Structure formats: structure tokens, C-alpha cells
Amino acid sequence: MSSIIQLLPDHVANQIAAGEVVQRPASVVKELMENSVDAGSTEIKLVVKDAGKTLIQVIDNGKGMSVTDARLCFERHATSKIRHAEDLFALGTKGFRGEALASIAAIAHVEMKTKQDQDELGTHIVIEGSKFVSQDVAVLPKGTSFSVKNLFFNIPARRNFLKSDTVEFRHVVDEFERVAMAHANIHFVLIHNGSEMFNLPASNTRQRIVNIFGGRTNEKLVPVNETTEIVSINGFVCKPEFAKKNRGEQFFFVNDRFIKSAYLHHAVMAAYEGLLKDGTQPGYYLYLDVPPNTIDINIHPTKTEIKFDDEHALYAILRSAIKHSLGQFNVAPVLDFDRDATLDTPYDYEKKDVGMPTIQVDSTFNPFADDSDDKPAQSFSGGSSRSSSSSSFSSSSSYSSPSFKKDKMPSWESLYNGLNTSTDEIAEISFESEEVTGSLFNDEEVEQTAHKTYQIHKKYIVSPIKSGMVIIDQKRAHQRVLYEQFLANITVQHGSSQQLLFPLTLHFNKSELGIIKEMKESLQNTGFVFDEFSDDHIVVSGLPVNVAESEVSILLEELLNDLEQEVPDTSFSQSDSIAKSMSRSLAVKTGVALTEKEQETMVNALFACKEPGVSPFNKPTFITLSVEDLDKRFAL
């Protein structure tokens, strides 16, 4: 029997490796930008078309490559970062495996232009699906330009799995922001479909964060600085009052490499214990520097997960550092009360004895005596030589004070003259009794209309029906009602709006503003009125009729959180997503007491819906119990 195990061709092996390294256009952006950083670049420009599906181009002014290196960099496991296996535990660069460029060249049309500073001419290479098309000499500036066109052109199944352009571009922006935040000393530019999205000049870490996430971010930041033998922590955390529902602005960088760590995130949450509202997440931008030999970054294909040698110590240090910063900047409550400087003892009196004050009281003072008999009420003399002053109540005072003379004071009994009547003389008021001679309804109808609904545990509404009773979940029922209302308003493009006396200014980062602009028309059909769209804020002058002014920021934040991972392409799916998100945010919550009128309105509105049986999220809104079911329960 012949052998059945064979070596895979290089282009097949490269495509298999690309399945791990290149998942979407953002993966290509990450690999190419990290290579530019490793090349010592001071300026990096990213040009993207159609969210990276058509073109991804990274241009840098790094040290470039020679002719041999330019050809060899597309081979598998070819890298300049390591020489021995021990180098894996002392990495100071981003990439080290040598798989990225080979994998990218296997699934796209690649064009590379590179030149070193000491060379007069550069190298121009064109590759299509792992096949070298051409290699020429060209006049080029210093650095490297890497263009990736038609991603997944030879793997249509992978291309079909890509999301909409809005979602894919958001992932591209995420990778761009992570690399830019890790290297504030490099000038980054992002251009999408011909328009400049980001232009981040070289600056410090705080200014880089503000440039990416908007000007109002500066007032949210609390600096964190801690240096130990195990780890050096720098960066910023956000004040508790700026916590959000989603986990958007949360970044960990270990040795200038973005990572995800649920364990370290738990340490941050522990530091905020007692400071956050339920369901909210704090923002943080934390940079950790650890010895390279104490971490292993080779446990995940995208290198976003790291294994630490001593996680417990790192947890404790991170938690205490953040807690200390929150207390140091008066963000968290501390035991030390604010000292009032006005209560300090002057230096001249610091060593003097304290003189006890003496009090003299005139026990014969009578405020109702004549003027001639007036005497000082009381005098106080302290330890210092102060003249005691006396006060008297007399008619000759500088202001017209009331006179307390006994002979002029009217008798208090005179105030009650004429009210000396006995209780028997008080007139009695009688009401004519009204007898009900009949009823507009019969007894059965009165019993049915006496109580139509009941609320149980502020969660369920019970309403009697002919065959028994119906038990309604008030939250899910309200979600169904609001969902159909919003969907109808968006479909007919006519939503009722309430105008605000003072327009609201809401601040968002650029990626969030992009999603809001994408959904602007659908949001306007629900009742929102937008007056202005700026680079970092929007102005809202009108709201849907059932949205309170205090709920606007929370509503839009939850809407962005729902649409963050998937922004639909078709108008119907957009409308459906917005209607679902708004109904979930605005529906009455469990634990809210409803009046009988509100309960009846809820029941009537639910059964007037097209699909009253399920919520927008396919969960039952009510159940029915018949009289037979109840009889069976009691028959046991």
C-alpha cells in the first residue's frame, strides 16, 4: 500500500497559515503597522479603501530593506527579529514568527516598494497569490510602502464571511488606535476612501489619548504611576462618574503591546469597588513594563494574550496602584477630612495659656419692668481686657422695638373675647342623605370592572379572562409595544418629536460618531432631531416623545453598544436593530410599581400588537392559566 501522507505545497501551507494570522482586513493593518514600528519609523501613514477589502496601504519612513531582504521577507519563517530559541524570552519587537507577510501574500495582490537610506535605488516587488510577478529597481524615497489589494481574492468563501464595510472599518480603526496609543512618539495618519480620519502628531501619552478619543477625555483622566521590581505601571484611569455601559475604552499595554486580560481587568474592577453604578464599566489606558523573560507572548496567533510568571503579585500591585491614584486625586472617599485653615492656631498664641471666659447673670432682671427699673440683662467678660456691654429693652432704642411695659400691654384674655361659646351652641350642619335607587350595571358587570388587573412583585401583571387568567411580564410586554411603535415610525418615516428648550451637546469619539452618522436617517424617523455633527460631538434639539432628556446619553450609549459589532447594510435590518435597542433601553424595568390605569394601558397595548406573544428578542411575554388548571392544582 502506497503512503498517503504528503507534504503540502507552499501556497497551500501559506493559505492555511493565513487562516490564523489574517482573519479580516484589520489583521493585515495590525501586522503591517507593527512591521513599520519595528523598522524605526517616525511617520506612518495608513490608506484604506472599502474598509480594507479593496486596498490597505502602509507607508513609513523606516530603515527599509535591501534587495535580498525584500525578496526573502515573503518566505515562511523568515524573520530578522530572532536567531535562537532563547530569543523568544527576550523579545523587544512586535513580530518575530515570520509568517505574516507570507500569509498575506498568499491571499491577496501585494505590491512592495522599499529603499534603504544608504542606497541610491530601491526595490519594487509585485506578488499575486504567493506567485512572484515582477521584481524591478525603482527610484523611491527612504522607507517602505506596502500595498495589499483585493484581500481574499482567491478564497471567496473567506471573503463572503466578512461583515459590512462599517463593521470592518471599525475593526481597522481599533487596530490603528491600539498601535498609535502604544507609540505616542510616532506620527500616525489614517485615510479612508480619500478622507482623512486621523492625523496624530508625535506627542506624549496623555495628548495622544485626547487626540484619539476627543477633547473632553482630558477631564476624565486620573494618572496612575507605580514602579516596583516586578512591574512598572503608567497610564490613566477614568473617573467613576464617566463610567459607561460598554467596555469600549479599556486598554492594557504590556511592553508597548496591546493585550486582553480578564484577570487584570478584574484587578481594575476591584480597585473601583463601591465607586461604580451597577452595570457600568470604567475606562482605563494602562501601560505595564515587565522584564521580557517573565512573560510568554507566544500563546496566541494574534499575540493579544500573554502569560505572566507571577499573576497574583501583578494583580495586587495593579489594584493598589489604581486605588491609590483614585484616593490621591480625591476621586475616591478617604479617611482624611479636608482641613480648614481658618481653624489653625496663630503662632503668637500657640504657647499662651487659654483664658476661661466668665459669665455674669443678673437674676433680678425683669423684661416687663418700667424704663426706670430696666437693668442690664447679662454681661460677658472674657480672659482679654474687653469692656462688657449691656443691652436693655426700652422704648428709646435706636429702632422701634416693641414696648414691654406692664401697664400698656393688653391682656391676653382679650384676644379670645367672643369665643366663649359652649359646644352646645355650635351650629350643626346636616347633609341630605342620598339613596341609590338603582345601578347602571348589573352585579356581574360591577364585579368584572372592579379590578381588571393586579401587579405581583412589581414584575407581573395579572388580568382575568373568561377562561381563567393571563400573567404578563411587564418588561417584555413593554418591549414589544415600543418595538412595534418605533418600527412603524421608521417605516413610515414619521416619528413624533418633542423639541428641547435648550439643545443637548453630547460628546463621542470618532468611531462612535461614524456609527451615529450611519444611522442618522433612521434615528430621525424615530423622533430625534440633530442640529450639528462635529468631529467630537453632536447637538440634539429634539427627542422621541417617550424619551426623557436625562435618558438621551444612556440611550445612545446603549444603542452604540448594540450596534458596535454589527451595523446592518440594508435599511430594514438597520431599522430593526435600532427599534430593538431603543425598546430594550426604554421599556419599564422589573421592580417599577404601575398604577391600575398604567396596567390596563399596558395590557390593551400589548394585545393590540401584531405579535403579542413574544418580545422583540423571541421570549414569551405572557402565559395563561385556565380555571381547569387551577381546579387540578386544588384537586391534588
Cβ–Cβ under 8 Å, residues 102 and 17? yes
For residue 235, what are the contacts with CB-CB under 8 A and spacing of at least 6?
Answer: 205, 223, 224, 253, 284, 285, 286, 287
Output the pLDDT for position 163.
Answer: 83
Output the pLDDT for position 391.
Answer: 43
Output the pLDDT for position 449.
Answer: 46
Output the pLDDT for position 632.
Answer: 86
Length of the chain: 636
Model confidence pLDDT, tens digit, residues 163-189: 888 788 888 999 999 999 999 999 999
Residue 600 half-sphere exposure, CB side, CA atoms within 13 Å? 7
SS3 call for 123: strand
Measured between alpha carbons, how far is 319 from 241 in angstroms, rounded to an integer? 19
Q: At what angle do helices 552-563 and 571-586 cross, to 10 degrees?
A: 130
143-149: strand order across its sheet: 131-138, 122-128, 109-115, 143-149, 55-60, 43-49, 187-192, 195-200
Output the pLDDT for position 206.
Answer: 93
**Superfamily the domain 10-200 falls into:** Histidine kinase-like ATPase, C-terminal domain (3.30.565.10)
User: From the CA atom positions of the chain, what is the Rg in Å?
Assistant: 39
Please say if the pLDDT value at position 630 is more than 90. Answer: no
- In the predicted model, what is the mean pLDDT of residues 604-620? 90
Ranges in the chain annotated CATH 3.30.1370.100: 455-623
Q: Which amino acid is located at 255 in the chain? A: N
**If one looks up domain 455-623 in CATH, what number appears?**
3.30.1370.100
Q: What is the DSSP string of 401-455?
A: PPP--TTTSPPGGGGGTT----GGGSPP-----------SS-HHHHHHHH---EE
Q: Bridge-partner residues for 138, per DSSP? A: 122
Cβ–Cβ under 8 Å, residues 57 and 146? yes
Measured between alpha carbons, how far is 478 from 608 in angstroms, rounded to an integer? 12
More confident of the two residues 216 and 174: 174
Ranges in the chain annotated CATH 3.30.230.10: 205-328
Ranges in the chain annotated CATH 3.30.565.10: 10-200
CA 567 → CA 27, 227, 432, distances in Å?
Answer: 20, 42, 71
CA 602 → CA 337, 438, 588, distances in Å?
Answer: 50, 33, 10
At residue 383 the predicted structure's pLDDT band, cuts being 50, 70 and 90, is: very low
CA 354 → CA 234, 345, 351, distances in Å?
Answer: 51, 12, 9
Output the pLDDT for position 317.
Answer: 93
CA 287 to chain CA mean position, Å: 20
Report the relative pairing of strands 195-200 and 468-473 from DSSP bridges: unpaired
The number of beta carbons lying within 10 Å of the beta carbon of residue 537 is 16
Model confidence pLDDT, tens digit, residues 474-500: 999 999 999 998 888 888 777 778 888
For residue 295, what are the contacts with CB-CB under 8 A and spacing of at least 6?
Answer: 254, 255, 306, 307, 308, 309
Measured between alpha carbons, how far is 574 from 514 in angstroms, rounded to an integer? 15
Written as nine digits, the cell of 243 is: 463610567
CATH 3.30.230.10 at 205-328, yes or no: yes
SS3 call for 136: strand
Q: What is the DSSP string of 265-318?
A: HHHHHHHTTTTS-TT-B--EEEEEE--GGGEE--SSTTS---EES-HHHHHHHH
The least confident of 197-201, 312-316, 324-328 is: 324-328
